[in-house]
């Protein structure tokens, strides 16, 4: 199916991929284990090309893992480097109650946590604010102060666990508390991993939780991204979300369109600030939903999973 010239071209492409794309990732992160094999103990190679499988319908422009057009994954090592981080959405009542839940989840094998906040916290209100009456500790945990954050993560190693925060208008405050907590514990900021939703454009489109208008909201989002690039390079300061747009009644096509448009808007705003897209781009995360009717009905009870590997 392929002549020698085609195979030589693919071979050269593979060598370039190994040197320029794969090796830097292996050097920085490695792989989870030395050997990968099937249940029948047949060793699985890192990459296969027409040189390995005869008469395969292989297109040269399929690309290599971690390179455009990313048809073979966005990471050079994919699951060999790390599996997906699965997080059960959790948060209720007080910080102490939620901390107990976090410990249970970690003991059961979770490597990531996903924090659900109550409505006052989501809107940046203290629990004793008049507008918080009747909403404190419902549908999520109440976090008002750095002390609440300390209790929430009591006994949890911030340098080892990846933490997701589903919060938007007050996301920078929660993020600041988390970083301050790490500073107090002596955890390097460069070791912090996790995801901050912080998707304000989605709020104006669908979920309707905001404190200030769109333009200053976007400025604050870019402030957060700028800080994260400089201080917490493994932490994703924004999760561009299609989930809530779909929940608000969009079709699957509309969900995708709005999500991509929001992502482009954030990229353009960051570039206007002077940030390098190749630097902040890897810190962008996406959060979307299944598209079937059955999965759409059931996903409210399903565990949340980041569409990234924070």
Does the pTM of the predicted model rise above 0.85?
no
d(CA 134, CA 132): 6
Tokens of 264: 């482009």
- Looking at the fold, whether 261 and 164 belong to one and the same domain comes out as yes
Higher pLDDT, 47 or 201: 201
Residue that terminates a domain, selected from 49, 79, 109: 79
Flag whether 138 is in a domain: yes
Flag whether 256 is in a domain: yes
User: Could you tell me the sign of the dihedral formed by the alpha carbons of 57, 61, 64, 69, in that order?
Assistant: negative
d(CA 156, CA 185): 11
- Looking at the fold, whether 25 and 150 belong to one and the same domain comes out as no
- Looking at the fold, whether 92 and 71 belong to one and the same domain comes out as no
- CB contact at 8 A, 129 and 121: no
- Looking at the fold, whether 127 and 70 belong to one and the same domain comes out as no
pLDDT for 228-264, tens place per residue?
A: 999 999 999 999 999 899 999 999 899 999 999 999 9
pLDDT for 151-162, tens place per residue?
A: 999 999 999 999
Q: How many CB atoms lie within 10 A of CB 171?
A: 25
Flag whether 310 is in a domain: no
Mean pLDDT, range 29-37, rounded to an integer: 90
pLDDT for 179-188, tens place per residue?
A: 999 999 999 9
- CB contact at 8 A, 308 and 195: yes
Flag whether 194 is in a domain: yes
Q: What is the dihedral of CA 268, 274, 279, 280, to 10 degrees?
A: -50
Mean pLDDT, range 92-109, rounded to an integer: 93
For the chain, the domain total comes to 2
Domain limits at 144? Answer: 84-305
Residue that terminates a domain, selected from 79, 109, 128: 79
E strand segments, 35-128: 86-87, 89-90, 112-116
């Amino acid at each position: 199916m392929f002549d020698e010239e085609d195979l030589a071209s693919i071979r050269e492409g593979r060598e370039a991929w190994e040197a320029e794309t794969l090796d830097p990732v292996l050097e920085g992160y490695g792989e989870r284990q030395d050997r990968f094999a099937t249940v029948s103990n047949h060793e699985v190679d890192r990459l296969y090309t027409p040189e390995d499988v005869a008469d395969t319908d292989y297109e040269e422009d399929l690309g290599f893992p971690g390179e455009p057009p990313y048809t073979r994954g966005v990471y050079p090592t994919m699951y060999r480097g790390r599996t997906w981080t699965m997080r059960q959405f959790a948060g209720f009542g007080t910080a102490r109650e939620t901390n107990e839940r976090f410990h249970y989840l970690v003991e059961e094998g979770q490597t990531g946590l996903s924090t659900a906040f109550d409505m006052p916290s989501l809107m940046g209100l203290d629990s004793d604010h008049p507008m918080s009456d009747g909403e404190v500790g419902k549908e999520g945990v109440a976090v008002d102060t750095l002390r609440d954050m300390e209790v929430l993560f009591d006994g949890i190693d911030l340098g080892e666990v990846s933490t997701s925060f589903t919060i938007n208008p007050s996301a920078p405050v929660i993020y600041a508390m988390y970083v301050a907590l790490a500073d107090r514990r002596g955890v390097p900021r460069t070791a912090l991993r996790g995801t901050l939703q912080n998707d304000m454009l989605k709020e104006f489109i669908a979920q309707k939780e905001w404190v200030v208008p769109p333009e200053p909201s976007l400025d604050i989002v870019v402030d957060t991204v700028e800080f994260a690039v400089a201080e917490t390079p493994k932490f994703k300061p924004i999760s561009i979300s299609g989930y809530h747009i779909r929940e608000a009644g969009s079709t699957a096509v509309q969900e995708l369109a709005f999500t991509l448009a929001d992502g482009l808007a954030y990229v353009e705003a960051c570039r206007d600030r002077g940030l390098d897209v190749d630097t902040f781009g890897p810190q962008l995360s996406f959060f979307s939903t299944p598209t079937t009717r059955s999965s759409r009905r059931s996903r409210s009870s399903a565990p949340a999973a980041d569409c990234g590997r924070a």
